[in-house]
Amino acid sequence: MNTSILKILITLLFTFGICTQVSSFGLPDMPKLPGKSSDSKPIDLKGGKTELVDKFFKSSNHYLAALALLNKSLGKNTEAAQIEKEIEYANNPGIDEADRMKNSIKTANEASKAIEADLGNEATSISTEGKVYYAQSLPEAIKGLAGTVKMVPVTKRMVNGIKASPMSAFKQIGGVAKVIPSLPSYMQTIQKTMNLIRIKAKAQGIDGADDPALEAEEASFDMY
């Protein structure tokens, strides 16, 4: 047999043997690169941040305004004034947006917890004047919930992108990268509190409590 042909056959057999071994060992897939989604499409953290921050403040301001009015409906004017002060803080462009977001989240969580305690107390009564404030809070509440629902898709993307590469995310979008992971919990708090606000409004015969828009937004809220 020609020497050249023999060398070719040996090379082919050797290569085939390696391929067979690799296949039998079942080498793992290449790991996904940080900052990429499950379908390998890159996550635009900077663009996502701009979209999310804009939606956050719009929805948060409405929700906080609703909480301020609800406090007034319960005669808690000092608490209402404090929430209104925090809304002003949130709208101050001279303050770092990460700090403003953290402050709004903290304010909303604390005020939501207090409102839940008040509305969940059977002894809580709402005066005629209070019912007017309560009714005024519902349109703001609906806008706040609607805006929060719109945040869900971009929040999911951003949380996944940040988890994939925290250091890279921080370099790209700064301190907001440390705030975004807390948004899912914050958004679920809004969902829970809004449900109680609607139930109490119906029980008290508040004008606007039967607005189908409120129930529709609650029904469309899905963090998973």
Q: Residue 139 falls within a domain, yes or no?
A: yes
- Residues 123-171 pLDDT 10s: 888 999 999 999 999 999 999 999 999 999 999 999 999 999 999 999 9
d(CA 105, CA 100): 9
Cβ atoms of 100 and 92 within 8 Å: the answer is yes
Does a structural domain hold residue 25? no
Total tally of structural domains belonging to the chain: 1
d(CA 81, CA 71): 9
Residue 11 within a domain:
no
95/97 Cα distance (integer angstroms): 6
β-bridge mates for residue 162, sequence order:
none
Assigned domain for 213 exists: yes
Closest CA to 79 of 117, 53, 125: 117
Q: What is the DSSP string of 17-53?
A: HHHHHHHHHTPPPPPPPTTB-TTSPBP-HHHHHHHHH
The burial of 5, by beta-carbon neighbours within 10 Å (0-12 exposed, 13-18 middle, 19 or more buried), is given as exposed
- 19 pLDDT higher than 50: no
Q: What is the CA radius of gyration of the chain?
A: 27
In which domain, by residue range, is 109 found?
43-219
Let me know if residue 14 belongs to a domain: no
User: Would you say residue 123 lies in a domain?
Assistant: yes
What is the tens place of the pLDDT at every residue in 173-185?
999 999 999 999 9
pTM for the structure as a whole: 0.79
Residue 155 lies in a domain: yes
Does residue 28 belong to any structural domain of this protein? no
Query: Which of 17-52 are b and which e, b meaning 16 or more Cβ less than 10 Å from the residue's Cβ?
Result: eeeeeeeeeeeeeeeeeebeeeeeeebebeebbebb
- Check: CB of residue 52 under 8 Å from CB of residue 180: yes
For 185, other C-beta atoms within 10 Å of its C-beta total: 11
What's CA 67's distance to the chain center, in Å?
19
Lowest-pLDDT range of 21-35, 65-79, 101-115, 203-217: 21-35
